[in-house]
Structure 1
Amino acid sequence: MFSKIGQLIFDNEQVAKTADFTMGLEIEMQRIDSTGNISQEPYPSAVGDQKTNPWITNDFLDTMPETVTPAASHALDAMHYLYGINNALRTALAPGELLWPLSMPPALPSDKTKLRLAQMGPKKEAYLKEWVKRHGYSAGTPCGAHINLSIDQHIIDMVLENYPEDFKNEIEVKNYLYTILAQGFVRYRWIITYLFGASPIAEANYFDKGKELKHPIRSIRQSPYGFGTKFSGDYTDVQSYVDRIEQGVKEGILISDYEFHGAVRFKGNSNLKKLPETGIEYLELRMLDLDPSSSVGVRTDTLRFIRLLASYLIMSPALPKDEVNRVLTAADEINREVSIEEPTQVSKYQDRAQAFLRTLERYANRIQLGPEYAEILEDLEDRVDNPLTTPSAKLLNYVKDGSLKEYALRRAKRYQEAAQESIHQFQGFEDGKILTAKELKEQLFNGNWEPTNQ
């Protein structure tokens, strides 16, 4: 069951460390008015400068704020950060403004040139204009939850100490382990799409006239109809990853390396060429739709599942190098099929999904992760057995006249009211000061919560 490295971790009773991934979250949402249309209000000045504030910034549109948490040692800590920053954003919105809780945008104007691109400085603005020329406005509007994962340093040190013949330095260990993780997440992305897909329909004007979907699907955002460039990465190793993206830029498929928006991205040196020699610092996972049942777009149990999956993957054997692209290309095709299935129908890959979740359950039991993980897996197994319990299928219960607007507005108003009723109103971004993670923690929680990191 375990790889050589996995067995080493297990034998040294360090398995718990494999679940101790440091986790950061990035959540995009659309600003809307009280009627459910894209907001016409300017970017909220009370959250500071969108170009320099590391915790609340902006994305594709001027109306797409993105909340970013500091790295946290536990899923619960990450969620507390996210709730605090999300509340800060909500309380800074103009009167009547709300945050749209769905991944797919609200109704877009028939003339999409009226949408305002984010004002992130001349270089980024030039990039966005070129991006729109190539892909159009709609493709940039779906929002999602991104998870940044970094491996516990104890694991890296232990592997280097025990296998000096395989790895010359820490950078080689990190690049190897992060590559294994990336391969695994791409390989099993389709399960995440099935379990957490929550974008079954699109609102008015997302699709061009005559190109609308014939029926709801599990996840528009994770399907060929979703976000941006359909350019696949090469996860054979870090150098192959870099070479593939650079080739895409050279051939004009990508505007720049920044445009690579694969389901998993290696993050480290901002100069992509230097990434193999300076090393991967963390993975960015980009495969989660917003969860509208949470005011912050993601639930704690979802983060725990991602951590469990990452722990399992790092303990498992790597794919043979000459098999990586074949296996991951096949996995992308499975994800495509799963993403466009009707949400209420049993998946073509139900048996395979059941088998994989049972494998995770045995793994969780073997390493004694605890009852909360057993409960999570039991709930997810029920989603595979009964597709009506999946997020996308549940959303279909609220569709009226081909729209989720009424449901989304009801949720948005409820979440906004809750934020405005919070006891501690955070105002630390108003003067434009750039807060460190430590300063953010001190001002955000005001003694009410004490994350274990920092």
Structure 2
Amino acid sequence: MSQPSASSGSILPAWVDASMLKGILRGIERESLRMQSDGYLSKQPHPKALGSALTHPHITTDYSEALMELITPPQSSIDEVLNYLTDLHAIAHKHLPEGERLWPMSMPCMLDEDESRIPLAQYGTSNIGRFKTLYRKGLAIRYGRRMQTIAGIHYNISFPDTLFAQLQAHELDESLKQLSFEDYKSHRYFGLIRNFIRYTPMVIFLLGASPTACGSFLINRKHDLKSLVGGALHLPHATALRMGKYGYQNSAQKKLGIHYNNITGYLEGVKQAVKMPYPPFAALGLNDEQGQPIQINDHTLQIENEYYSLVRPKQVPKQDETPSDALRHRGVAYVELRSVDVDPYDPIGITKKSAAFLEILALYCLLLESPEITDAEQDRIDLNQNQIVERGRAPDTVLQTEDGEITVFAWLAQHVANMQPLAKLFDDSNNTSLYADALQQMQSRIHDPQQTLSAHVIQDMVQHGGTWRFGGYLAEQHAQVYAQHQLSAEKQQYFNDLVDISLQEQQALEQASTQSFEAYLSKFR
């Protein structure tokens, strides 16, 4: 993990002012399992009263019918995006099957021993709908269904063009000044991405909330987790098991060598992975004994979305574009920060202060020097992330840097202190104290690790007697919040209309699918 120069003056150039942050957009994607009253994963289909999961823009499913995903559109303030997310939770809760609740944690609730009982998401009979379900079937045979039930928060953020224009105008490297504006933005966003990868341990320590796992999640799997209480497993100083070897992992991808040193190399790496056969996946076969497809293809990635990463460069696709096509044609429009645990204590999974911290960190990563990540540095990054995941709160935990070892707490304190001018910039831009308050909260977690979310989860899980008891208690508290949340008549009508439109759009797709699914699938094989 490199330690670029991080003095306040070098991070925040004198010419940057609060007006340059006007126009930041942020959006949130929150995943949440639906659980039955007995604590087990729901076996019921996605509620039809919520519309079509295939075409609804804001309420859909991820891997499973029981893994709901709530997606806000981009908003101009944290208040607006959290209010929108609250609306979505209230609507989703209103139409859950009787007795069901939204599970409040990243790590799943109780799972059946037979993981085939984890239902795959279904999207209807259109070719694109069947393709999406087949993709999930492929994930199941490649990695198992249990891993796919892990939930998280994805925080999307874009910075205004005025900031990038000023950054380019003040570049000392003449070649960067000569880039097209689109290419320059992509260059700077990739710098942000590299730094976010370097500083992901900050997110894991400060926002990590998955230090435990239900024993049902690790059935028939070797592990070194320790018994906590009532079937819950943990590591005493863990922060976010979701982000480690027990979480969302893909061993095949570690050999890909996809890097973020520039957009061209990144796109080439993803393209190769989507087209390159991978012998262990080929050995699984493409079809079952009845000739029905069980995975899209035998490539390292069935499609681009299979590439798991801490952060993604994003561009809104048009028509039939793949994510890579969109990036290749129009460059990076925003970044998706993907290493955030669901906050189990908050009804919508993320607080205002956590959102503010992520935005400060994103700007920090954008402005800070961002050299290319070498293989040696990537090895340190991987080692450090694992240390933070498994024993981040231990007083003797150290991180590896180019200059030697540093304690976790000294490293965290150094960078949070360096972020103070950025918090003031945000606060000045928004006429608030939210961002300074967010950093103060993060500093308190560094100075006293017992104040971290992960420490609270372990303490409260012991008090309640296990994963299901604690999660069920929180789920019920959150359900009361959703039930009391009032939508205006206009908003309610808007969401009602979205349901009708989504069902009509799915029906239109199904009627338009005249090509056989076999022919449709052949393009990807």
Q: How does 1:156-175 map to 2 (within 5 A)?
A: 156-159=164-167, 166-175=177-186
Q: Please give the alpha-carbon distance, in whole angstroms, between the structure 2 residues aligned to 1:107 and 1:368.
A: 42
Tell me the secondary structure at the aligned position of residue 332 of structure 2. Answer: coil
The answer for the alignment partner of 1:89 in structure 2 is 92
Select the residue among 340, 357, 379 that pairs with 2:416: 357
Deviation at 1:160, TM superposition (A): 5.0
Tell me the secondary structure at the aligned position of residue 202 of structure 1. Answer: strand
Checking the alignment, whether the CA contact within 8 Å between 1:102 and 1:291 is kept in structure 2 is yes
Checking the alignment, whether the CA contact within 8 Å between 1:187 and 1:332 is kept in structure 2 is no
Deviation at 1:88, TM superposition (A): 0.9
Deviation at 1:423, TM superposition (A): 3.1
Deviation at 1:10, TM superposition (A): 4.0
Tell me the secondary structure at the aligned position of residue 310 of structure 1. Answer: helix
The answer for the alignment partner of 1:433 in structure 2 is 501
* CA RMSD of superposed structures (Å): 2.7
User: Per-residue displacement from partner, 1:21-51 (whole Å, max 9, x unpaired)?
Assistant: 3101000000011222111222111111000
Extract unaligned runs of 5+ from structure 2.
124-128, 227-233, 279-299, 399-407, 504-525
Q: Please give the alpha-carbon distance, in whole angstroms, between the structure 2 residues aligned to 1:131 and 1:12.
A: 48
Checking the alignment, whether the CA contact within 8 Å between 2:309 and 2:338 is kept in structure 1 is yes
Q: Please give the alpha-carbon distance, in whole angstroms, between the structure 2 residues aligned to 1:343 and 1:209.
A: 28
Deviation at 1:157, TM superposition (A): 3.5
Checking the alignment, whether the CA contact within 8 Å between 2:18 and 2:425 is kept in structure 1 is no
Amino acid at match of 1:176: H
Amino acid at match of 1:389: Q
Q: Please give the alpha-carbon distance, in whole angstroms, between the structure 1 residues aligned to 2:486 and 2:190.
A: 44
Q: Please give the alpha-carbon distance, in whole angstroms, between the structure 2 residues aligned to 1:420 and 1:368.
A: 33
Kindly tell me the number of residue pairs found equivalent between the two proteins: 431
Q: Please give the alpha-carbon distance, in whole angstroms, between the structure 1 residues aligned to 2:487 and 2:326.
A: 43
Amino acid at match of 2:353: D
Tell me the secondary structure at the aligned position of residue 265 of structure 2. Answer: helix
Residue 221 (structure 1) aligned with residue 221 (structure 2): no
Residue 338 (structure 1) aligned with residue 363 (structure 2): no
The answer for the alignment partner of 2:344 in structure 1 is 292
Amino acid at match of 1:221: R
Q: Please give the alpha-carbon distance, in whole angstroms, between the structure 2 residues aligned to 1:60 and 1:228.
A: 15
Between 213-222 and 173-182, report the one with greater CA deviation: 213-222
Extract unaligned runs of 5+ from structure 1.
436-454
Q: Please give the alpha-carbon distance, in whole angstroms, between the structure 2 residues aligned to 1:153 and 1:412.
A: 41
Residue 256 (structure 1) aligned with residue 303 (structure 2): yes
Select the residue among 66, 72, 81 that pairs with 1:63: 66
The answer for the alignment partner of 2:83 in structure 1 is 80
The answer for the alignment partner of 2:482 in structure 1 is 419
Between 201-210 and 305-314, report the one with greater CA deviation: 201-210
Amino acid at match of 1:351: A
TM-score by length of 2: 0.76
Q: Please give the alpha-carbon distance, in whole angstroms, between the structure 1 residues aligned to 2:308 and 2:244.
A: 13
Q: Please give the alpha-carbon distance, in whole angstroms, between the structure 2 residues aligned to 1:23 and 1:315.
A: 18
Cα 1:402–1:201 change in 2 (3 A) is farther
Q: Please give the alpha-carbon distance, in whole angstroms, between the structure 1 residues aligned to 2:313 and 2:156.
A: 10
The answer for the alignment partner of 2:434 in structure 1 is 372
Residue 304 (structure 1) aligned with residue 356 (structure 2): yes
Checking the alignment, whether the CA contact within 8 Å between 1:344 and 1:388 is kept in structure 2 is no
Deviation at 1:138, TM superposition (A): 1.2
Cα 1:352–1:241 change in 2 (3 A) is same
Tell me the secondary structure at the aligned position of residue 242 of structure 2. Answer: coil
Checking the alignment, whether the CA contact within 8 Å between 1:398 and 1:404 is kept in structure 2 is no
TM-score by length of 1: 0.87
The answer for the alignment partner of 1:390 in structure 2 is 452
Select the residue among 35, 38, 57 that pairs with 1:35: 38
Bigger radius of gyration: 2
Q: Please give the alpha-carbon distance, in whole angstroms, between the structure 2 residues aligned to 1:51 and 1:134.
A: 23
